[in-house]
């Protein structure tokens, strides 16, 4: 059954860990969500949405706050369902490729944190590799969904270090941005530094911004350690990453770090 899922043209990440048969009809919740998104189209949002992305993205033109309300509305409908069924709904939303539908997944999954199991990380990785194609979907999902997973299973940070070596740009960014909230709270400094090391000379600007942001958040509680890291690696670190990393530091420190010939 699992083998069939892996070779199916309608591949679903959840069947990596599930013995459930794929559904043969669309859940009405999915269609109702899409109807609501179509009804909430906003012309002003249409004019500005694409500006936030370098790559072409699909979108309904719905304001973020409105999408949040839709996510909350339908969470009340599905929250009592089995977790695998909710994961199926999430995957159906991801498969559409629409930013707003990905945002709904990012709203729903953290609500399941008390039901997380170790095997769920394989699903999350598969979603990132298969469906995520822009920074907003990556960060929206990783900051909370995977961040909460790491808080429950801290030893799973080792998997993030595997992601940091991936050829998939969004998985590499995910390795960094999944630790944003723990790092902001002063946690896992050694792991933050190790992930920064793995991504240090990455050529992808989305990855550079991701690990620079991680260092910035770590600097809230470990300013001296992050500054020392930046100063030691400034000749190799892309300027984009460096600027992000020192953003919260006093001006004198920022100027020192930005000097080119030190």
Q: Report how many domains make up the chain.
A: 2
Identify the CATH number of the domain in which residue 209 sits. Answer: 1.25.10.90
Indicate the pLDDT class of residue 11, thresholds 50, 70 and 90.
low
Residue 31 has pLDDT above 90, yes or no: yes
Minimum mean pLDDT range among 17-31, 53-67, 188-202: 17-31
Residue 134 has pLDDT above 70, yes or no: yes
Boundaries of domain holding 238 = 153-262
- Whether 54 is covered by a domain: the verdict is yes
Indicate the length of the chain as a whole number: 262
For residue 133, what pLDDT is reported? 94
CA nearest 170: which of 201, 213, 212, 127? 127
For residue 2, what pLDDT is reported? 31
Task: Report whether 202 contacts 172 (CB < 8 A).
Answer: yes
Whole-Å CA distances, 159 to 154, 155, 186, 233:
10, 8, 20, 24
Looking at the structure, tell me whether residues 126 and 166 fall in a common domain.
no
Contacts of the segment 59-67: beta carbons below 8 A, 24+ positions apart: 59/98, 59/99, 59/100, 60/98, 60/100, 62/37, 62/100, 64/103, 66/40, 66/42, 67/37, 67/100, 67/103, 67/104, 67/107
Task: Report whether 87 contacts 46 (CB < 8 A).
Answer: no
Residue at which a domain ends, from 132, 161, 184: 132
- Whether 37 is covered by a domain: the verdict is yes
Q: How far apart are CA 160 and CA 174, in angstroms?
A: 8
Please indicate whether residue 49 or residue 121 has the higher confidence score (pLDDT). 121
Residue 238: phi and psi, rounded to 5, are -60, 145
Give me 105's structure tokens.
């997944």
Q: pLDDT tens across 92-106, in order?
A: 999 999 999 999 999
Looking at the structure, tell me whether residues 39 and 124 fall in a common domain.
yes
Task: Calculate the average pLDDT of the chain.
Answer: 91
Q: What is the mean pLDDT of residues 37-58?
A: 91
Looking at the structure, tell me whether residues 112 and 167 fall in a common domain.
no
Looking at the structure, tell me whether residues 45 and 94 fall in a common domain.
yes
- Whether 141 is covered by a domain: the verdict is no
Q: How far apart are CA 157 and CA 7, in angstroms?
A: 30
Residue 49 has pLDDT above 80, yes or no: yes
Percent of the chain at pLDDT > 70 equals: 91
Q: What is the mean pLDDT of residues 1-28?
A: 54
Looking at the structure, tell me whether residues 237 and 178 fall in a common domain.
yes
| Contacts with 101 (C-beta within 8 Å, 6 or more apart), sequence order | 33, 34, 37, 93, 94
pTM (predicted TM-score): 0.89
Q: What is the mean pLDDT of residues 151-161?
A: 98
Indicate the pLDDT class of residue 77, thresholds 50, 70 and 90.
very high
The H or E element containing residue 92 is helix 83-96
């Amino acid at each position: 059954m699992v083998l069939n899922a892996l070779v199916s043209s309608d591949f679903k990440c959840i069947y990596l860990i599930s013995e459930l048969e794929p559904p043969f009809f669309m859940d009405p919740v999915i269609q109702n969500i899409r109807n609501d998104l179509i009804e909430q189209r906003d012309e002003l949002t249409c004019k500005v949405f694409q500006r936030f992305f370098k790559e072409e993205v699909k979108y309904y033109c719905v304001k973020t706050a409105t999408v949040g309300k839709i996510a909350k509305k339908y969470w009340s409908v599905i929250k009592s369902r089995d977790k695998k069924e909710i994961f199926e709904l999430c995957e159906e939303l991801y498969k559409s490729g629409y930013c707003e539908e990905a945002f709904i997944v990012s709203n729903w999954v953290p609500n399941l944190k008390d039901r997380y199991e170790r095997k769920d990380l394989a699903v999350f990785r598969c979603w990132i590799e298969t469906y995520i194609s822009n920074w907003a979907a990556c960060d929206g999902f990783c900051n909370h969904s995977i961040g909460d997973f790491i808080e429950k299973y801290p030893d799973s940070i080792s998997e993030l270090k595997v992601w940091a070596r991936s050829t998939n740009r969004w998985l590499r960014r995910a390795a960094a941005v999944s630790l944003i909230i723990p790092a902001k709270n002063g946690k896992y400094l050694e792991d933050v530094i190790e992930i920064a090391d793995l991504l240090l000379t990455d050529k992808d600007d989305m990855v550079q911004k991701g690990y620079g942001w991680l260092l910035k958040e770590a600097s809230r509680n470990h300013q001296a350690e992050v500054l020392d890291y930046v100063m030691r690696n400034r000749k190799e670190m892309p300027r984009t990453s460096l600027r992000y990393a020192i953003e919260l530091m006093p001006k004198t420190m920022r100027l020192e770090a930005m000097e080119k010939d030190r």
